[in-house]
Amino acid sequence: MSLQSLQQALGKFAQAPAGHLPTPLEHCPNLSHALNLSIWVKRDDCTGLGFGGNKVRQLIFYVGEALAQNADTLPITGAVQSNFVCTAAAFASKFNLQCHIQLEERVSPTSELYRRNGNVMLSKLLGATLHSFPKAENEAAADAAVYALAEQLRKDGHRPYVIPLGVNSPPLGALGYVQAAIELTTQLQQVDTNVDGQVDEILIASGSALTHTGLLYGLRALSQATSVRGVCVRRDATQQTRRVRQRLDDIEALLQQDITWQDNDINLYDSSLAPGYGQLNSDTEQAIRQAAQSEGLFLDPVYTGKTMAALMQLAKSGQLQGKRVLFWHTGGQSALHAYEDQLIPGGA
């Protein structure tokens, strides 16, 4: 598909005017040296609005549609330390909307800091109304509850636009990452990545999978063969592979543009996931420390720390040898403060 056709397909969707784009593409000399690789980082932690992150690109499309429908309230669901809901609250502030956040108890046990600091504190500062959803890991039930909340808001005279997470909703947010694929392709033509402006492999966190799948769709639509490895942060590789496949089909349906992709384009890695969503492991802790102390780069415990831990595991096992690797920084650092007791034990 040509760049113009892809842009035209995206142009049919409303977009909220927000975000600092394009984001920088930077080389990481110290990490590259330490891991004996060429490592680049796509700084989507710098997308602007609130503390930025990948969800800004997604919310540009959700909030664009909400504004087109003349909505006045955004009901949204996510984990207690979700960056998505907090960034939605920032959009709500900017576009004079109200935000109702349903916080899912996905992580247990949790500390006092986890429950009140980081994104929880920021969402309160942004003026959002918080609701609790105690049923742990149940995506369909969480979406059903947020639609019920929207119904109540409608009865109370509001005009809600629900931002769901589950696979039964159109993958509007993924369009932000189809757009990011265009941005990266253009950027790689301008930046000296040493050989032909290419990277061999992209590592990116894969949760709801809209970021990962949007990027993969966009690159393949532009006939870019770069390998995209999704790093599992919520489900194992088998379940996440199924989800990415479904979301690829959903993006094709939404954009009404089929693309050519192979089964082996869907590449998931889950060895840095344990013990589970939102829970630290020692490789992730080490990755957070090493990125901070060698590049001044802050990662988060839930998404980008696990993605960097995956990169380091793969580098150590020789699977990335000789490759130019792009680490896609999706943000999330505002959750760091909720994990202080684990990252800096004793406050020392």
Ligand X SMILES: Cc1ncc(COP(=O)(O)O)c(C=O)c1O
Nearest CB to ligand X, comparing residues 153 and 207: 207
| Tokens 């792009």, residue located | 326
Contact pick of 207, 218, 278, 301 for ligand X (by CB under 6 A): 207
Determine if 208 is a binding residue for ligand X (CB under 6 A): yes
Determine if 240 is a binding residue for ligand X (CB under 6 A): no
Determine if 43 is a binding residue for ligand X (CB under 6 A): no
To ligand X, the closest distance from the beta carbon of 333 in angstroms equals 8
Q: Which one of 49-57, 114-122, 285-293, 314-322 is the stretch in contact with ligand X (CB under 6 A)?
A: 49-57
Nearest CB to ligand X, comparing residues 75 and 332: 332
Q: Interaction with ligand X in 249-308: which residues (CB under 6 A)?
A: 300, 303
Contact pick of 202, 330, 334, 336 for ligand X (by CB under 6 A): 330
Q: Interaction with ligand X in 63-92: which residues (CB under 6 A)?
A: 83-84
Contact pick of 179, 267, 332, 334 for ligand X (by CB under 6 A): 332
Question: Which residues does the annotation mark as catalytic?
Answer: 82
Which x/- pattern over 161-200 shows residues binding ligand X (rule: CB under 6 A)? ----------------------------------------
To ligand X, the closest distance from the beta carbon of 297 in angstroms equals 14
Determine if 54 is a binding residue for ligand X (CB under 6 A): yes
Q: Which one of 52-60, 139-147, 155-163, 250-258 is the stretch in contact with ligand X (CB under 6 A)?
A: 52-60
Determine if 210 is a binding residue for ligand X (CB under 6 A): yes
To ligand X, the closest distance from the beta carbon of 279 in angstroms equals 15
Contact pick of 50, 53, 160, 305 for ligand X (by CB under 6 A): 53
What is the total count of residues that contact ligand X (CB under 6 A)?
Answer: 18
To ligand X, the closest distance from the beta carbon of 87 in angstroms equals 8
To ligand X, the closest distance from the beta carbon of 194 in angstroms equals 27
Name 103's Cβ contacts closer than 8 Å, sequence gap at least 6: 78, 79, 80, 82, 85, 120, 130, 131, 132, 133
Instruction: Label each residue of the chain as H, E or C.
Output: CCHHHHHHHHHCCCCCCCCCCCCCEEECHHHHHHHCCEEEEEEHHHCCCCCCCHHHHHHHHHHHHHHHCCCCEEEEEEECCCHHHHHHHHHHHHCCCEEEEEEECCCCCCCHHHHHCHHHHHHHHCCCEEEEECCCCCHHHHHHHHHHHHHHHHHCCCCECCECCCCCCCCCCHHHHHHHHHHHHHHHHHCCCCCCCCCCEEEEEECCCHHHHHHHHHHHHCCCCCEEEEEECCCCHHHHHHHHHHHHHHHHHHHCCCCCCCHHHCEEECCCCCCCCCCCCHHHHHHHHHHHHHHCCCCCCCCHHHHHHHHHHHHHCCCCCCCEEEEEECCCHHHHHHHHHHHCHHHC
Nearest CB to ligand X, comparing residues 150 and 163: 163
Positions in the binding site for ligand X (CB under 6 A): 53-55, 83-84, 205-212, 300, 303, 330-332
